Structure 1
Amino acid sequence: MIVGLLLALLAGSLVSLQNIFNNKVNVHVGSWTTTTLVLGLGFAASFTLGLVFEGTEMFNLEHMKLWYWFSGLLGVGVVTCMVQGINRLGPTFGVSISMCAQLGFALLFDSMGWLGLEKVDFTFKQLVGVLVIIGGIIVFKLGGREKKKVTHEQVLMGSCEEGA
């Protein structure tokens, strides 16, 4: 269980880091180029590591349902939506909303037993947990940061500090 927790924490940190990198790439080349670079490099790395660690076994796909083959297409939506979400909301808020959506849908899929998952009973505690996280995001977003007023002259001079 400890290894699972550590891997989940590592995955979360890598996703946050990737989202920031993707957003920086998007500023320079646009959304579709960013998605192509991210998924193309991901394919190359996965393919290479798969060959190193699994060899030709990685091509043994005979027992997989056909519609699972298309799960990689979801990555296009993930990368594109995250890049645009972070561009519009900022990294912390964008990733927080994404995490809430992931948690909410995971809870829905688990409790309904959809997509071949073993059905897990829905509990009030789970609902409260999701609502607490959503409440935390609302507090984070609406809580006490005051925005500084920036004048047109400060923008032209390259300084955004008040009184500069």
Structure 2
Amino acid sequence: MESSGDDSIRVFVRVRPPDPNLDGDLYHAHCVDVTSATSLSVQSRPEPKVFTFDHVAGMQTTQEDVFSAIGRPIIESCMCGYNGTIFAYGQTGSGKTFTMIGFEYLFSLINREIEKCGDLVEFLCKCSFLEIYNEQVFDLLDPASSGLHIP
């Protein structure tokens, strides 16, 4: 599990499937099309606009695929001693929380290292899950929190 040494910010975009609860032709009209693994086009006038990202996931991409592309490499870098951050933004149900919950994978890697090295290795894990909704900050690991202030 070697780090790639790339500590840059990367942008991953996932295009969600259309909502089947929408009525009529609006459901069938797509305004965003994935054109490659790194670009998408947005239907606009007079011509579509093309945007490029580090990675673009199409409508068939599963939550597991998103985790494998984003969460897994960050967790593996953490096991090498690097700090990792995932900033997830998107609509409800778009996979933000699923992508960020890599605890099971992280702890399986930690357990494997402890089994291999015993008392020669020590781990310190710190995690924050914050939600910003309607200009209010909530600590998702402390349900009693509300309206937190971030300095």
Asked if TM exceeds 0.5, the reply is no
- Asked which structure has the greater CA Rg, the reply is 1
More strand by share: 2
TM-score (normalizing by structure 2): 0.32
Q: TM-score, normalised by structure 1?
A: 0.30
The structure in which a higher percent of residues are helix is 1
